[in-house]
């Protein structure tokens, strides 16, 4: 009995140690965000560079958010970023799913070579293809347009790889049951495969949304009209507008981060993998 008690106590101590380590890592990851929020809430009378640094504002105020919102057209920036991100997510997930399905479930000559070729493009930095993409965008007349922002993200090698692996994990019994029910190849993809890989689709959508929402380099090249700016470009302009008033810059940054946090809170429960074979009869 004593030995069993000692083992239980040892296991609890190990779990406690693991929780402590994970809590420290979580605080380390969250500290920059907390410091950004603290700076945005500090009043003009507080020194943001004071030592020792004060994480909690002595006189918290929301005035910085109001000033930043009124001075810069954040409503327009927010609309531009939201529209571009949503359209990019829909098109990217659609095209990646269409490309990944035959690579995972169909047999045709050169399938593995095509997949290897697609995956190898992950190693190519965006800066290498940036200039040809920019030239193509200008020649097509897409500068300062939503389509010009969306074009480079219509599909991704990472998305094709992720969904191909998810499609491969779907039990063959589900596919055979769909064929017996008279599903065409398109119907099989839409009614059987897509619901079965929903967690992977949601995961890809989150990655694409965050990438599109926070993208700075490509919009900086394509956009030169303030009314077309996305949030990252708009926040960058605050540095010049407010002569490096870090409170207002931090307030603008918090405004740009909030939609991503809200999205993650709403969709995180869909990331949990489901049993794709639950529909298979024993």
What CATH number corresponds to the domain at position 166?
1.10.3720.10
**122 and 227 housed in the same domain:** yes
Domain end marker among 42, 61, 80 = 61
**49 and 86 housed in the same domain:** no
Show the domain range for 176. Answer: 66-279
**154 and 214 housed in the same domain:** yes
**85 and 37 housed in the same domain:** no
pLDDT in tens, 257-272: 888 888 888 887 776 5
| Four-residue CA torsion sign, 170, 174, 176, 178 | negative
Mean pLDDT by 10 residues, the chain (282 residues): 74 88 91 89 82 81 88 89 95 96 93 94 90 92 93 93 94 88 88 92 93 93 91 82 75 88 80 50 39
Record the tokens describing residue 117, joined without a space.
């070729």
**111 and 230 housed in the same domain:** yes
**196 and 269 housed in the same domain:** yes
**54 and 128 housed in the same domain:** no
Domain end marker among 21, 40, 61 = 61
Whole-prediction pTM: 0.83
3-state secondary structure of 238: helix
State the total domains in the chain.
Answer: 2
| Angstrom distance (rounded) from CA 87 to CA 213 | 11
**26 and 108 housed in the same domain:** no
């Amino acid at each position: 009995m004593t030995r069993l008690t000692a083992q239980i106590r040892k296991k609890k101590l190990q779990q406690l140690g693991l929780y402590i380590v994970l809590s420290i890592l979580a605080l380390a990851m969250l500290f920059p965000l907390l410091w950004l929020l603290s700076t945005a809430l500090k009043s003009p009378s507080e020194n943001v560079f004071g030592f020792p640094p004060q994480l909690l504002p002595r006189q918290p105020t929301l005035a910085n958010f109001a000033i930043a919102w009124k001075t810069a057209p954040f409503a327009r920036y927010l609309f531009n970023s939201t529209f571009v991100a949503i359209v990019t997510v829909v098109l990217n997930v659609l095209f990646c799913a269409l490309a990944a399905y035959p690579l995972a479930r169909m047999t045709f000559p050169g399938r593995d070579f095509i997949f290897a070729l697609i995956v190898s493009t992950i190693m190519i930095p965006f800066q290498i293809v940036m200039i040809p993409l920019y030239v193509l965008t200008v020649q097509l007349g897409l500068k300062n347009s939503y389509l010009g922002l969306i074009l480079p993200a219509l599909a991704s090698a990472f998305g094709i790889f992720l969904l191909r692996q998810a499609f491969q994990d779907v039990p063959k019994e589900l596919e055979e049951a769909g064929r017996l029910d008279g599903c065409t190849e398109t119907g099989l993809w839409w009614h059987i495969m897509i619901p079965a890989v929903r967690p992977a689709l949601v995961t890809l959508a989150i990655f694409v949304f965050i990438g599109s929402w926070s993208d700075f380099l490509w919009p900086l090249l394509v956009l030169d009209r303030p009314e077309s700016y996305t949030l990252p470009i708009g926040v960058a302009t605050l540095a010049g507008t407010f002569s490096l008033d870090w409170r207002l810059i931090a307030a603008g940054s918090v405004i740009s981060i909030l939609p991503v946090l809200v999205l993650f809170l709403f969709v995180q429960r869909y990331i949990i993998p489901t049993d794709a074979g639950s529909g298979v009869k024993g």
